[in-house]
Structure 1
Amino acid sequence: MNDVATLTPTEARERFRAGLRVPTSGWCAGWTQANLLAVPRDLAYDFLLFAQRNPAPCPILDVTEPGEVSSQRFAGDLRTDLPAYRIYEHGELVAEVDDVTGHWRDDMVAFLIGCSFTFEDALLEAGVPVRHLEQGGNVPMYRTSIACRPAGSLSGPMVVSMRPMPASQVATAVRVTSRYPAVHGAPVHIGSPADLGITDLDTPDFGDPVEVRPGEVPVFWACGVTPQAAVMQSRPALAIGHAPGHMAITDIRESEHLVP
């Protein structure tokens, strides 16, 4: 396979539509990746309010009109052009598939939510390691004991992603990622996983475990899988999300999110 970092969003989406199923960290350098949550119209306001009240884990990049399957910021088809999706019914995960055309309703409203994969190139350029890329896996993600602010019928815990690094590079990671508030921004926690209610870094709730080497510190960012944790807790009749780590690659340049 060609170097996936050099692909355009259109080229990447064509591969996913054809059935390629892989995590997207490292794909399409310079282009923003996004989490997906699609819900029926009667739940859309509750989720919009949930995201507004919890901007760190749920920074909204785009919202479709009911029934639309593409937008100016995602020119592909949201039903087919991600590598993998999760279908929830009454909060239960009922399927993980690579095409949700048969599950999509005419009243579905899709939300694209910022993803920390977007700032990983900036971390690498600053000399900060990104361990899951080194190991060729998915980023580890964990449910925490931090409750999000509820909204309407939705409530749930914050989910975080974790990247270990030498203590000497933590300040650099904070400085780099704080310039990307639209894709989670600065870390929400540095150090002890127990402070977040995480009992074992080797057993993430989503994604793959990564090696934490002697002298390294785990650094945690708010994660866009948080909406799916809210779906699991709140149990709406139907919700469609991306499979964690298998993102929507948008037509938004990463540079659009960079602030001074």
Structure 2
Amino acid sequence: MSANRSAQQSTLSSFLEVARTSQFAWFIGHVVVLFSSALYLLTFRGGSSGFHNTLYRVMYLGVIESFSVIIDQQHLRSTNKTSPRDLLLDDNVLYLGVALLWIATPRLTITMVPYVVFSLFHFLTYLKSVLLPQVFHLSENSKILTLVDSFVRQNNDKSMNWSSFSELCCLIIVLLRALLWYPRSWIVAIIYSVFIKVRYEKSPYMKSCVKKWEVRLDGLVSHPKVFPQVKNIYMQFKSNIRQLGKYNLAGPSPATSAAKQN
């Protein structure tokens, strides 16, 4: 009994020590995201309800809290000064800004997907790196740590691809809603299109996803049964997108800058 009580006290003491950190506050934000989104999906029956609207907003409150903590750590409390432009183009700031957009506009379920994916992997990483070894004192060779580590390693790239795919699907829906004049749809379409443009410039996963979509659409449009008018519209659309691609919002990549200097 004495040994068990001592172990419990040690675990509690370790947990309280971890719970005082800002990283734990960041972790709690991801827990809120996962819990509220799981409850949202498990009880979803279609349509709109006050309960699901509340869960949706709570999920985004968790997102805002977790991203705010990391931005505070990386920029506001850092001794290294960040220029306003670099701050605005930081991935965490971008995703925080989009989360504020979603929480302030009518509910759109698909927007939850990338945040849930991010939170799942952040949750597992924190579990593996902090909670299990520091609070529950599991060794590096324990089966639980090995399984979690293996899952994260094997699925990290897949998770980024899933996120990029869901973001592109969301863009299509947002643009369609704008064309149908949903409430506040045009401001959402403009802001989210800029977000996707910056993500395309910065993320190899987004570029890969866009390329896959382009190849798939090229194959569909090139089919002999597709009307020539449709093919012309598609080619004009691609031409316009390429013209927009010349305007780089995120600035030149490091490789491009180095090439210019050489």
TM score, norm. by length of structure 1:
0.28
Which has the higher relative contact order, 1 or 2, with Cα contacts under 8 A spaced 6 or more apart?
A: 1
Q: Higher strand fraction: Structure 1 or Structure 2?
A: 1
TM score, norm. by length of structure 2:
0.28
Q: Higher helix fraction: Structure 1 or Structure 2?
A: 2
Task: Say which one has the larger Rg.
Answer: 2
